[in-house]
Copies of this chain bind each other. A is one copy, B any other.
Amino acid sequence: MKQNEMLAMILAGGRGSRLHDLTNKVAKPAVSYGGKYRIIDFPLSNCANSGISTVGVLTQYESVLLGSYAAKSGLWGLDTKDSGVYVLPPREKADSDLDVYRGTADAITQNIDFIDNYDPEYLLVLSGDHIYKMNYDKMLAYHKAQNAAATIAVMPVTLEEATRFGIMITDEDNKIIDFEEKPAHPRSTLASMGIYVFDWAKLRALLIKDKDDENSSHDFGNDIIPALLNGGEKLVAFKFEGYWKDVGTIDSLWEANMDLLDENNELNLNDPTWRIYTEDAAPLPAYIGPDAEIGAAYITQGTRVEGEVKNSVIFTGAEVGKGAHIIDSVLMPGVKVAEGATVTRALIANDIKVSKDAVVGSADSKEILLVAQDV
Contact = CB atoms under 8 A, between A and B. Distances in A.
Contacts of A90: 89, 98
A15 B98 CA distance: 14
A262 interface: no
A79 B77 CA distance: 12
Nearest to A81: B282
A64 B113 contact: yes
A99 interface: yes
A117 B64 contact: yes
Contacts of A94: 24, 61-62
A100 B98 contact: yes
A114 B87 CA distance: 15
Number of copies: 2
Chain A contact surface mostly: loop
A93 B27 CA distance: 10
Interface in A41-96: 59-65, 67-68, 71-74, 79, 81, 84-94
A111 interface: yes
Contacts of A59: 91
A90 B65 CA distance: 14
Nearest to A61: B92
A288 B338 CA distance: 73
15 contacts: A59-B91, A60-B91, A60-B92, A61-B93, A64-B113, A64-B117, A68-B86, A68-B114, A68-B117, A71-B86, A74-B74, A81-B282, A87-B87, A90-B98, A98-B98
Interface of A: 24, 59-65, 67-68, 71-74, 79, 81, 84-94, 98-100, 111, 113-114, 117, 282
